[in-house]
Structures are given as structure tokens and as C-alpha cells.
Amino acid sequence: MPLQAMTVVRAARDIQYGRSIAVQHGVPGRVVNLQPGWAGTRYTVEFAPESGAKVTLVGLSAGDVLPG
């Protein structure tokens, strides 16, 4: 069952953007949008690292985020 919008999640692994790490493993976030499709649901997640700057990533899979 897919996660719902506004669900609190955390990064299941280090998520890279290009060659750098955009979000480190365990950083908390919140699902802000989801796109169901034939290949699975894709999520837009707003992460809030301790640095205070929010990072929004689009197109994440269920393997990229964990509830809680």
C-alpha cells in the first residue's frame, strides 16, 4: 500500500543527486505529493536536515523512504 501525502518518513539510504549526497540516511521528511503509475508509486518528499535548509526531491521510490 503506498504512503499517503503528509506521511512522516525518513531516508532509507543516502540519496544522491549527481555525484553528491543530497540527503543522508535517516534524515526525516514528509511526503508532499505522490504519483501512482504502472511501475510503482513515485513520491515527492521534503526533507529537513539538521542544517535547517529544506531539500525537496521528486521521483523517489518506496525503497528510498521508510515510514516514521
pLDDT tens for each residue of the chain, 68 residues long: 789 999 999 999 999 988 999 999 999 999 999 999 988 999 999 999 887 889 999 999 999 999 98
Q: Which domain holds residue 56?
A: 8-67
Residue at 21 is within a domain? yes
Report phi then psi at 13, rounded to 5: -160, 175
Residue at 48 is within a domain? yes
Query: How many separate domains does the chain show?
Result: 1
Residue at 62 is within a domain? yes
SS (H, E, C) the chain: CCCCCCCEEEECCCEEECCEEEECCCCEEEEEEEECCCCCCEEEEEECCCCCCCEEEEEECCCCEEEC
Residue at 2 is within a domain? no
